[in-house]
Amino acid sequence: MKKVLTSAVTAIILTTSSAFAAVNSQTGCGLGSQIIKDDSSAVLLALQATTNGTSGNQTFGISSGTSGCKKTKLVMNDKAEEFVASNMDQLSKEIAMGQGEAVETLAELLEVQDKAEFIASLQKNYTKIYTSSNSSMADVLDNVSQL
């Protein structure tokens, strides 16, 4: 029974992988969506989702921009977290002013392409970034990533 099931899955993968080129919008990106490109039936969608879930590479694809996933605008990293945690007061002041060394450094750590636009967006959305006087580093970075 196991051989029959394995053969059936392999046959589906081989026949569908070359027939279509687009990633399915229902199951998202990942290995399953890359191998099984046909989304014409519930069985194939289930196989895509199962492969995406069991292979565990969808998260990697989202953060790296591989496996048919789009790279996110901002990817948080340990250096950015440490920097923001150590410079909360200075960052708050410079984001409010729309300029400064700390906010420039944050843009570099987050690998932002257009720093001027990024900094202007931070200044414009200051109240969305610092939602209270007790905002934490995680709050600030989460709010920055949603801009």
Mean pLDDT of 42-46: 84
Residue 19 has pLDDT above 60, yes or no: no
Reported as a single tens digit per residue, the pLDDT across 59-104 is 677 666 677 766 544 556 778 888 888 888 899 999 999 999 999 9
CA distance 84 to 61: 26
Q: Please, which residues have CB within 8 angstroms of residue 137's CB and are 6 or more apart in sequence?
A: 81, 84, 85, 88
Reported as a single tens digit per residue, the pLDDT across 104-144 is 999 999 888 999 999 999 999 999 999 988 888 878 888 88
CA distance 58 to 111: 22
